[in-house]
Chain A
Amino acid sequence: MLLEIRNLHAGIDGREIIKGLNLSVEKGQIHAIMGPNGSGKSTLAKVLAGHPNYEVTEGEILYEGKNLLEMEPDERAREGIFMAFQYPVEIPGVSNSQFLRLAYNEKMKHLGREELDPIEFNELLKEKAKLVQMTSDFLKRSVNEGFSGGEKKRNEILQMAILEPKLAILDETDSGLDIDALRIVAEGVNKLRNSENAIILITHYQRLLNYIQPDFVHILADGKIIKSGTKELAIELEEKGYDWIKANSAHC
Chain B
Amino acid sequence: MQVKRETVYNEIFRISASQTNQPEWLKELRTEALSFFSEVGFPSVEDEEWKYTNVAPIARETFQYDFKVESKISEETISKFVLEEAKKSFLVFLNGRFRPEFSNAQSLADVKIASFTQAFNDPDLQKTLQQKLGSLVDYRKNGFTALNTAFIEEGLFLFIPRDKIIESPIQLVFLTENEKIAFPRCLIVMEEGSEATLIESYNRNQEGKYFTNAVIEISIANEAKLKHYRVQRESHNSFHVTTTCAEVQCGSVYDSTNITLGAKLSRHDVIAIFKAEGGQAFVDGLYLVSGEQHSDTHSVIDHVFPNCLSRQNYKGIVDGKARAVFNGKIFVRENAHGTDAQQSNKNLLLSNEARVDTKPQLEIFNDDVRCSHGATVGQLEEEEIFYLMSRGLHHSLAENLLTYGFAEEIVNKIEVDSLKSQLDEALLNRLKAKL
Chain A interface residues toward B at CB < 8 A? 49-53, 72-74, 76-78, 82-83, 85, 88-89, 91-94, 99, 102-103, 106-107, 110, 142, 159, 163
Contact = CB atoms under 8 A, between A and B. Distances in A.
Contacts of A92: 405-406, 408-409
Contact of B393 (A52, A76, A89, A102): A102
6 contacts: A77-B391, A82-B391, A88-B387, A91-B384, A93-B404, A103-B388
A106 B382 CA distance: 21
A73 B390 contact: yes
Contacts, number: 78
Contacts of B407: 93
Contacts of A88: 387
B386 A52 contact: yes
A85 B395 contact: no
Of B387, B390, B404, B406, the most chain A CB neighbours within 10 A belong to: B390
B402 A106 contact: no
Contact of A110 (B388, B392, B397, B401): B392
B389 A72 contact: yes
Given A51-B386, A89-B383, A103 B408 contact: no
A91 B388 contact: yes
A92 B386 CA distance: 15
Contacts of B384: 89, 91
B394 interface: yes
Of B384, B391, B393, the most chain A CB neighbours within 10 A belong to: B391
A91 B387 CA distance: 9
Interface in B274-295: none
A74 B394 contact: yes
B404 A74 contact: no
B123 to A, nearest CB: 51
B391 A93 contact: no
Nearest to B405: A93
A49 B386 CA distance: 9
Contacts of A91: 384, 387-388, 401-402, 405
A73 B386 contact: yes
B395 A94 contact: no
A85 B397 contact: no
A74 B387 contact: no
Interface of B: 381-384, 386-395, 397-398, 401-402, 404-409
Nearest to B412: A93
Given A92-B405, A93-B406, A94-B404, A107 B386 contact: no
A83 B388 CA distance: 11
A94 B393 contact: no
B399 to A, nearest CB: 12
Contacts of B397: 102, 106
Given A73-B389, A85-B387, A94 B408 contact: yes
A158 to B, nearest CB: 11
A50 B390 contact: yes
A106 B392 contact: yes
A76 B391 CA distance: 9
Contacts of A142: 405
B211 to A, nearest CB: 34
Q: Which 3 A-B pairs have CB atoms at the shortest separation, nearest pair first?
A: A93-B405, A93-B408, A77-B392
B346 to A, nearest CB: 11
Contact of A74 (B382, B393, B402, B406): B393
Nearest to A76: B390
B435 to A, nearest CB: 10
A185 B393 CA distance: 25
Contacts of A52: 382, 386
Contacts of B408: 92-94
B404 A103 contact: no
Of A76, A92, A159, A163, the most chain B CB neighbours within 10 A belong to: A92
A49 B387 CA distance: 10
Contacts of B381: 89
A89 B405 CA distance: 14
Given A93-B404, A93-B407, A94-B404, A159 B391 contact: yes
Contacts of A110: 392
Nearest to A77: B392
Contacts of A106: 392-394, 397
A157 to B, nearest CB: 13
A74 B406 CA distance: 22
Contacts of A73: 386, 389-390
A99 B401 contact: yes
Nearest to B403: A93
B387 A94 contact: no
Contacts of A94: 401-402, 404-405, 408
A72 B401 contact: no
Of B398, B401, B404, the most chain A CB neighbours within 10 A belong to: B401
A142 B409 CA distance: 11
A83 B382 CA distance: 17
